[in-house]
Amino acid sequence: MAEPTVRLRTERLSALYGSQAAVKGVTLAFPVHTVTAVIGPSGCGKSTFLRCLNRLHELSSGGLVRGSVFLDDRDIYATDANPVAIRRRVGMVFQQPNPFPTMSIYKNVAAGLSVNGRLTRTETDAAVERALRSAALWDEVKDRLQASPLGLSGGQQQRLCIARTIAPAPDVLLLDEPTSALDPIATQSIEELVQELKREFTVVIVTHNMQQAARVSDFTAFFYLGELVEHDVTTKVFTAPAEARTEAYVTGRFG
Amino acid sequence: MANVRAVGWGDTAFRVILTVFAATIPLLFVALVARLTVSAWPTIRAFGFRFLTTSTWDPVANVYGAAPMIFGTLFSALIALLLAVPLAIGVAIFLTEFAPRPLRGPVGTLVELLAAIPSVVYGLWGIFVLIPLLRAYVVPPLATLLGWTPLFSGTFYGNSMLAAGIILAVMILPYISSVSREVLAAVPSSQREAALALGATRWEAVWSAVLPYARSGVVGAVILGLGRALGETMAVVMVVGNRHDLSVSLLEPGTTMAAVIANEFNEAAGLQRAALFEVGLVLFGVTVAVNAFARILVWRVARGSAVGSRAI
Amino acid sequence: MISRVVRRRVASHVMTGLTVVAAILALLPLFAIFADLILRGASSLNWDFFVKNPAAAGDTGGGVANAIVGTLIIVGVGSAIGLPVGIGAGVYLAEYGGGRFGTVVRFLADVLTGTPSVIVGIFVWMFVVRPMGHFSALAGAVALAILMIPMVSRTTEEMVRLVPHSLREAALALGFPRWRASAYVVVRAAWPGIVTGALVAVARIAGETAPLLFTALGNMNFRTNVMQPMQTLSLQIYVFATGPFEEWHRLAWGAALVLMGIVLIFGLGARFVTRTRFRDG
């Protein structure tokens, strides 16, 4: 059976805080092995949208979701859907690196593995090494896997969080402004990593940095005031946008 | 995290177990009230309201009145507050406003150390150090100068309301001081700066800008101290003299509710024991009311955080 | 003619000085008590003091071995009961305590923390000693546990609340079920603070006397059976201090010094836990 081209898509997805709509009726598909950037001015709902994709939005106070999100053609918001199981297939990396402070580097990466069932020691070792290599962190930490993650730099901690997220082999990777708390060099290493990661995963990255979106993504979705304004191949969005609002944003007329 | 649905038995079991643990607290409270009331019932029925107003405490004739204890509790607490509050607030102001920064931690810790000393050790010190000191240096001048007043009349044998009041003052000082410190520290520094910018002296800034802002919290701290003083047992029972007499003289012995329970419970039986339970019920009621009131005041300033729980 | 400004400035200095005086006056009893503990108590501290039981009334010598062991046993059993319940209640308050039940529990915990311990003593007498028919260390431990639970629940709640939200989110995003995110990530992260609160509570109850008067009762002999009356340092101090013998008074100071030492060890241990954890990261 040929691999499907789209594993994650939304259909008329809306997200509310109480009665206030932060995301309004967004229909969007994420092709496999691509990076889709979600851009827009602050307050446009891009982070909220992202958090709907792994059912984190509903955990916020007053968080409500309408519409559907289809993962492999199954609506993750169906009444019989299990949010915990869904979050194992859709991983998320956050803006501030947040390694678990009471666990070693090794245990951090392995954290997501234990919830999926028991693995032997060798299997876990292999999975941890694989994840750390994919996150381009293995060489730097292989000699101190038992050390605390808090001794790592910001960029290294973020890569650790990425390793932690990809270790259980999710299908989709959601990155919520993963470099906004990092210095330029660390940012660059993460951006290179994202290009590598798309070989294995479907990646959605929220960023307020347009240049980053242009560098890193294949497709770009521009959000404004909760609505999806334009979604197209990245080069087209940045060089020849169809919508006036898109053009105004990417040319820096407002931010 | 209001909306996380329980999914699977793990979540439910976790929540149920924790709920059971948490439920022990209201359960304890209810059990305490119920148990005290039930055990006190014989005397409640026998004496009714007179229990609170009469002074006879006669195990032989089985007549009990708790007025001396209630009076003693309130009187000793009042003395303690009069002595401790100015000092405690002074210390709190010193530590939050005037003390040089490197001193604040150590001095604050030392004051809090007063709270770590067990009550029985205070009692020990009271018997062998404070009372001799009072007898030798403090009471003679007081008695000669003020012996004509009811407050200082009578003979001083050592064990007295004065000794109890002083010890209580030392014991409640750290509580009042540490809660006041937290409350004062919570006042935004912009308040003080605004006053200073208007030309106030350092003290005036504290008096007119910082203290009023923290006023209800400081009052709460004082009332928390009061709650402590009302319930202190060992130090009091060791220095107050345990005499069932209602006297307004500081120099005479007296008794308090907590002290009389500690003193007589093990030997009591029948109606006397019920009387002691009723004393306990009254004491419990008073401390609950005082503590509840204090907590509400402190919560209002410190926005519901567990201010003072650590100290207390 | 002193100008108004100068007068105000002087007043400010005077008031500042008064607060310094307040601090000094407040610390005087502290230094006095500690000085007395050391000066009067140190003379009792010899080998016999720690390994012998009290001598017959009026005789010299003897020690407080039974009281030291008794304190450790009763405090240990009391903590074994009180700490898990208190910590569990605290975690409940932090994780699920937003509703009305949580508010009630929190309020009553604060109120119970201020309850005189002597009342808890007579309460446990009714519930444990009476049915059992005799005094026991176990009853004493129960009384101490009841004192600990409200205290520990509030400090635990505070510590768990301090854990940043992002940690919980990271765990949930990995597919942790709610309870695992709480237990394995959030509570784990708060653990050093929880331990600190627990040690502070243990230090508090180690010094308690009143509730033990009617539960553990005390015992001049060496006992380790929790079903029997047992002596603690606090009870021993009370008996010795209020007794008629000079020798007893001397021993009381020694016992008080030891008790203060135990309390300080737990208190310092609490601070040590916080400090090393923070250094590790």
pLDDT digits (tens, 9 = 90+) for C2-30: 688 888 888 888 999 999 999 999 999 99
Which three-class secondary structure state does DSSP give residue B43? Answer: helix
**Relative orientation angle of helices B257-264 and B215-231, to the nearest 10 degrees:** 30
Contact yes or no for A98 and C191 at CB 8 A: no
Contact yes or no for C176 and A96 at CB 8 A: no
Domains of chain C, residue spans: 50-280
Summarised one tens digit per residue, pLDDT across range C255-264 is 999 999 999 9
Chain C nearest CA to B52, separation (Å):
18
Q: Identify the pLDDT of residue A2.
A: 55
Q: Which chains, if any, share at least 3 CB pairs under 8 A with chain B?
A: A, C
Long-range contacts (CB closer than 8 Å, 24 or more residues apart) made by C51-57: C53/C220, C53/C221, C53/C222, C54/C220, C54/C236, C54/C251, C55/C247, C57/C243, C57/C245
Chain B nearest CA to A62, separation (Å):
8
Query: Looking at beta carbons, which residues of chain A come within 8 Å of C177?
Result: 84, 115
- Domain for residue A255, yes or no? no
Domain of residue A239, CATH code: 3.40.50.300
Summarised one tens digit per residue, pLDDT across range A23-35 is 999 999 999 999 9
Summarised one tens digit per residue, pLDDT across range B17-45 is 999 999 999 999 999 999 999 999 999 88
Least confident of A128-132, B207-211, B297-301, C164-168: B297-301
The H or E element that residue B164 is part of is helix B161-185
Residue B306 has pLDDT above 50, yes or no: no
* CA–CA gap between residue B287 and residue B62 (Å, rounded): 27
Number of domains within chain A: 1
Contact yes or no for A115 and C166 at CB 8 A: no
Residue B8 has pLDDT above 80, yes or no: no
Q: What is the mean pLDDT of residues A107-116?
A: 85
Chain A nearest CA to B80, separation (Å):
46
Residue A162 has pLDDT above 90, yes or no: yes
Fold of B68-302: MetI-like fold (1.10.3720)
Closest residue to C20, CB basis, from B1, B94, B119? B94
Q: Identify the pLDDT of residue A3.
A: 63
Model ipTM? Answer: 0.91
pLDDT-derived band at C139 (thresholds 50, 70, 90) equals very high
CA dihedral A65, A70, A75, A77 (to 10 degrees): -20
Interface check A83 vs B, CB under 8 A:
yes
- Domain for residue A52, yes or no? yes
CATH top class, domain C50-280: mainly alpha
- Domain for residue A232, yes or no? yes
Summarised one tens digit per residue, pLDDT across range C26-85 is 999 999 999 999 999 888 888 888 888 887 776 777 788 889 999 999 999 999 999 999
- Domain for residue A1, yes or no? no
Q: Identify the pLDDT of residue C277.
A: 53
Contact yes or no for C174 and A115 at CB 8 A: yes
Please identify among residues 30-59 of chain A the ones whose CB lies closer than 8 Å to any CB of chain B. Answer: 58-59
Torsion region of A228: left, alpha or beta (phi above 0 gives left; psi -120 to 50 gives alpha): beta
With beta carbons less than 8 A apart as the criterion, state whether B287 and B227 touch.
yes
* CA–CA gap between residue C10 and residue C73 (Å, rounded): 58
* CA–CA gap between residue A25 and residue A27 (Å, rounded): 7
